[in-house]
């Protein structure tokens, strides 16, 4: 097992800085503001998409793609697609009829900075934009690769993925979920898209379905660890560092990993999952160090 491999912190810091710049720059050039009444829509998409995000999903995707020598521009474009889906889900999640949040990445949520109708539309357009970017020949010259990217992202985002998890999350406000149901909810709501990020990197690398098995296992473990860390952040994090409202789960009466396990056992579980995630990469050498560092980052982040 390579769980104890020492990963230089600079690898992660550099990786995050690089992908954040790449994603911001790609959003900036791909989302150009038209000179008519659609301007407000694209300005809203840019407001939500550019700056502020950690870009964990694009980094997972690019770090996986890098292991297989994928052209960086292709990985960044696929990263734009998965981040567009993530951003649209945050826009819609923040709406008054959903979580009614006022703060996201330290600035007013989109429906407050613009208005609700524009926020609904900007989210819709960003989801669509994701598939437009993936289907473009600039993402891959191989139509099999492009169509597999579309399928992977669509399945992870819809009723059997993220949207399904969000529906369960709404149900969690009025039902009392056990640990297995909370795990299933989070696997769909957060895990599916994190898994898709790794999977899309492997698709770009033309790795066979069999050859991706260990990557999917890695993604499943970090997905769960990510959510436990999120619950811990909600329970005991610093709002200024997080750039969003915390202490919401308890207020909504939702069962979480923290409410069900307590903070100590939850933290222990997250660390165990990270070790397990890293163990799935044991057949890889230094080329997987960024994925290993990312796994650790996921439970240690403060936002």
Is 166 in a helix, a strand, or coil? Answer: helix
Question: Under a CB-based contact definition with an 8 Å cutoff, are residues 197 and 213 in contact?
Answer: no
Cα 125 from Cα 194, distance rounded (Å): 21
Closest contact distance (angstroms) between CB of 177 and a second copy is 8
Given the complex with a second copy, which of 5 and 95 has the nearer CB atom?
95
Closest contact distance (angstroms) between CB of 277 and a second copy is 26
For 6, residues 6+ apart whose C-beta sits below 8 A from its C-beta are none
Closest contact distance (angstroms) between CB of 143 and a second copy is 4
- DSSP category for residue 107: E
Closest contact distance (angstroms) between CB of 25 and a second copy is 19
Given the complex with a second copy, which of 36 and 264 has the nearer CB atom?
36
Closest contact distance (angstroms) between CB of 29 and a second copy is 15
Q: Tell me the residue length of the chain.
A: 303
How many Cβ atoms sit within 10 Å of the Cβ of residue 33?
A: 13
Provide the binding-site residues for a second copy, judged by CB under 8 A. 31, 34, 36-38, 40-42, 45, 88-89, 92, 95, 97-98, 115-118, 120-121, 123-125, 127-129, 131-132, 134-136, 143-144, 146-147, 150-151, 154-155, 157-160, 163-164, 166-168, 170-172, 175, 181, 184-185, 188
Given the complex with a second copy, which of 257 and 297 has the nearer CB atom?
257
Cα 130 from Cα 127, distance rounded (Å): 5
Given the complex with a second copy, which of 71 and 136 has the nearer CB atom?
136
Closest contact distance (angstroms) between CB of 184 and a second copy is 7
- DSSP category for residue 148: H
Question: Under a CB-based contact definition with an 8 Å cutoff, are residues 292 and 2 in contact?
Answer: yes
Is 125 in a helix, a strand, or coil? Answer: helix
- DSSP category for residue 108: E
Given the complex with a second copy, which of 64 and 145 has the nearer CB atom?
145
Given the complex with a second copy, which of 16 and 44 has the nearer CB atom?
44
Given the complex with a second copy, which of 159 and 282 has the nearer CB atom?
159
Let me know if 300 is exposed, middle or buried by CB neighbors in 10 A (0-12, 13-18, 19+). exposed
Cα 116 from Cα 141, distance rounded (Å): 38
Closest contact distance (angstroms) between CB of 253 and a second copy is 16
Given the complex with a second copy, which of 8 and 96 has the nearer CB atom?
96
Closest contact distance (angstroms) between CB of 138 and a second copy is 12
DSSP states of 76-104: HHHHHHHHHHHHHHHHHHHSTTTT---EE
User: Residue 10: which region, alpha, beta or left (left: phi > 0; alpha: psi -120 to 50)?
Assistant: alpha
């Amino acid at each position: 097992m390579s769980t104890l491999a020492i990963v230089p912190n600079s690898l992660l810091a550099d990786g995050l800085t690089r992908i954040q710049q790449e994603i911001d720059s790609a959003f900036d050039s791909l989302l150009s503001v038209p000179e008519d009444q659609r301007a407000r829509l694209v300005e809203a998409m840019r407001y939500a998409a550019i700056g502020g995000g950690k870009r964990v999903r694009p980094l997972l995707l690019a770090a996986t793609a890098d292991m297989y020598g994928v052209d960086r521009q292709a990985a960044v474009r696929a990263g734009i697609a998965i981040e567009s889906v993530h951003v649209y889900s945050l826009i819609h999640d923040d709406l008054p009829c959903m979580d009614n949040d006022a703060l996201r990445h330290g600035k007013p949520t989109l429906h407050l900075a613009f208005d609700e109708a524009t926020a609904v539309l900007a989210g819709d357009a960003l989801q669509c934009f994701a598939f437009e970017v993936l289907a473009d020949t600039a993402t891959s010259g191989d139509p099999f690769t492009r169509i597999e990217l579309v399928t992977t992202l669509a399945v992870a985002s819809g009723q059997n993925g993220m949207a399904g998890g969000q529906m369960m999350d709404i149900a969690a406000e009025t039902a009392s979920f056990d640990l297995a149901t909370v795990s299933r909810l989070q696997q769909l709501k957060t895990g599916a898209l994190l898994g898709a990020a790794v999977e899309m990197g492997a698709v770009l690398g033309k790795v066979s379905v069999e050859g991706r098995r260990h990557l999917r296992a890695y993604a499943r473990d970090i997905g769960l660890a990510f959510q436990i860390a999120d619950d811990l952040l909600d329970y005991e994090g610093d709002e200024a560092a997080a750039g969003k409202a915390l202490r919401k789960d308890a207020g909504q009466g939702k069962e979480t990993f923290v409410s069900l396990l307590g903070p100590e056992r939850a933290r222990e579980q997250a660390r165990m999952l990270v070790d397990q995630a890293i163990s799935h990469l044991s057949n890889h050498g230094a080329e997987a160090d960024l994925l290993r560092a990312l796994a650790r980052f996921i439970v240690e982040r403060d936002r």
